[in-house]
Amino acid sequence: MNHRIISSDSHVVEPPYLWTERMSSKKWGDRIPHLVDEGPFDQWLCDGEGVGVLGGVSQAGKRYSDPESITLDGRFGDVPAGGYDPHAHVKDLDIDGVDLDILYPSIALNMFSIPDPLLIREVFKSYNDWLADFCSYYPEKLKAIGMILLDDDIPKGISEIKRCQNLGMVGIMVPTFPRQGESYDNVMYEPLWATAEDLNIPVSLHTGTNRPGAQIMRKGREVVETGSDRINNDYWPRMSISQIILSGVFERFPNLNIVNVEHDLAWIPYFIQRMDTTYRERPTQCTYRFKNSALPSDFMEKNVFHSFQDDGLGVRDRHLIGMNQLLWASDYPHAESTFPESQRILSEILADVPETEKAMIIGSNCASLYGL
């Protein structure tokens, strides 16, 4: 590929000492996130709850070499060094032919499921500090997305957004779906949208980040995700994005950008059509009415971006989704990552795409969104 390649969704894998070294043991005790030996595998605990095992976040490449061997269980010793060492990370970027990574968490994604907001704010603050340090070694190749908790204290969330930007982060992430009864069409979030627009900082909705009440299921200490859950993971961003659009958020904040992360693409054309049809035909259900005969699709085409890995059907329908809105990602170093085959995968899914559009999908759209 003779274009700049940016992965809009790659990951670090948090080292065992991240929180134990940064959070007060006197204040938080064993509620602090820590890694424990569960016999055949290692597991992360936070506040007494299991928040993640290491197999799914550390098996990049197995989907090509030996997919039947992929398991959720694993040891930290199996995690690629690039997950927690910035020097190893950029070496893997070179191996994969990728110029820059936008970085999200791995285990900390699941910590959105822990109910206590006071604890999780401290967890996210410590993570944000660590990630900013991680990226500081290669600022031209590594860019950070900060973790933000909102819940019952939006001003604290806004303060952390501003702190993240001061740390050099290019975006922030909030739960894909918030706490029960606090969906994103609630006026409580108006200060959030205003701040994100004022700071020109995109807001991401990453898969696997629902707050309690949004179908978080546990078996013992573990969060349980069934095959059906995984197949239908686009349900939650559809709910949040439609609530944001249909409540007029983008009319009030026209320069706000929302990033839909790791939910693929192929469902989006139907979703757009369904929103427009519902808006036209069900005014009693879509009570907010847009100015100047606008439709939900107008805001999807301008304000909502989509990060994906290898969705060939979505690429085929790229003009129905919006060419400016597509952001390729490798998802390194997770089991579903395109690493180390990203060049081949891109060549295959973009085979019939004109060069100017290839450049947009694999890099320039992302660069424009994040001001890179």
> 182-187 — which CB contacts under 8 Å span 24+ positions?
182/151, 183/239, 183/240, 183/243, 184/240, 184/243, 184/244, 184/247, 184/249, 185/243, 185/244, 185/246, 185/247, 185/249
For the chain, the maximum distance between any two Cα atoms, rounded to a whole number of angstroms, is 62
Lowest mean pLDDT among 18-32, 49-63, 83-97: 49-63
Q: Is 161 exposed, middle or buried (0-12, 13-18, 19+ CB in 10 A)?
A: buried
Predicted confidence (pLDDT) at residue 370 exceeds the cutoff of 90:
yes
SS3 annotation, the chain: CCCCCEEEEEECCCCCCCCCCCCCHHHHHHHCCEEEECCCCEEEEECCEEEEECCCCCCCCHHHHCHHHCCCCCCHHHCCHHHCCHHHHHHHHHHHCCCEEEEECCHHHHHHHCCCHHHHHHHHHHHHHHHHHHHHCCCCCEEEEEECCCCCCHHHHHHHHHHHHHCCCCEEEECCCCCCCCCCCCHHHHHHHHHHHHHCCCEEEECCCCCCCCCCCEECCEECCCHHHHHCCCHHHHHHHHHHHHCCHHHHCCCCCEEEECCCCCCHHHHHHHHHHHHHHCCCCCCCCCHHHCCHHHHHHHHEEEEECCCHHHHHCHHHHCHHHEEECCCCCCCCCCCCCHHHHHHHHCCCCCHHHHHHHHHHHHHHHHCC
Predicted confidence (pLDDT) at residue 222 exceeds the cutoff of 70:
no
Tell me if 266 is assigned to some domain.
Answer: yes
Q: What tens digit of pLDDT does each residue of 143-175 get?
A: 999 999 999 899 999 999 999 999 999 999 999
* Better-predicted residue by pLDDT, 230 or 90: 90
Strand partners, 308: 328
Mean pLDDT of the chain: 93
Token representation of residue 103: 């970085």
Mean pLDDT (whole number) for 292-313: 97
Mean pLDDT (whole number) for 42-50: 94
pLDDT of residue 215: 54
Q: How many domains does the chain have?
A: 1
pLDDT of residue 155: 96
pLDDT of residue 181: 87
Domain residue limits at 336: 6-370
- Nearest Cα neighbor of 189 from 106, 258, 289 is 258
Sign of CA dihedral 45, 48, 51, 52: positive
Mean pLDDT (whole number) for 247-273: 98
pLDDT of residue 212: 79
Calpha distance 258→232 (Å, rounded): 20
Residues in contact with 308: Cβ distance below 8 Å, sequence separation at least 6, in sequence order: 262, 263, 264, 265, 314, 326, 327, 328, 329
Predicted confidence (pLDDT) at residue 280 exceeds the cutoff of 70:
yes
pLDDT of residue 71: 73
* Better-predicted residue by pLDDT, 64 or 361: 361
pLDDT of residue 152: 82
Calpha distance 370→137 (Å, rounded): 19
Mean pLDDT (whole number) for 265-272: 98
Tell me if 90 is assigned to some domain.
Answer: yes
Q: How many CA atoms lie within 13 A of 224 on its CB side?
A: 7
Predicted confidence (pLDDT) at residue 216 exceeds the cutoff of 60:
no
Predicted confidence (pLDDT) at residue 64 exceeds the cutoff of 80:
no
Residue 220: pLDDT band with limits 50, 70, 90: very low
pLDDT of residue 214: 52
Chain centroid, CA 39 distance in Å: 31
pLDDT of residue 130: 99
Lowest mean pLDDT among 51-65, 118-132, 301-315: 51-65
Mean pLDDT (whole number) for 94-118: 97
Calpha distance 297→272 (Å, rounded): 6
Predicted confidence (pLDDT) at residue 25 exceeds the cutoff of 60:
yes
pLDDT of residue 232: 87
Tell me if 1 is assigned to some domain.
Answer: no
- Nearest Cα neighbor of 308 from 359, 357, 243, 366 is 366
pLDDT of residue 270: 98
Predicted confidence (pLDDT) at residue 217 exceeds the cutoff of 60:
no
Strand partners, 11: 104
Residue 105: pLDDT band with limits 50, 70, 90: very high
Predicted confidence (pLDDT) at residue 218 exceeds the cutoff of 70:
no
Tell me if 106 is assigned to some domain.
Answer: yes
pLDDT of residue 55: 78
Which domain CATH number covers 189? 3.20.20.140
Residue 231: pLDDT band with limits 50, 70, 90: confident
- Contact assessment for residue 14 and residue 23, using Cβ atoms and an 8 Å cutoff: no
pLDDT of residue 365: 99
Chain centroid, CA 322 distance in Å: 20
Q: What tens digit of pLDDT does each residue of 33-45 get?
A: 999 998 888 999 9
Predicted confidence (pLDDT) at residue 69 exceeds the cutoff of 70:
no
Predicted confidence (pLDDT) at residue 74 exceeds the cutoff of 90:
no
Calpha distance 268→234 (Å, rounded): 9
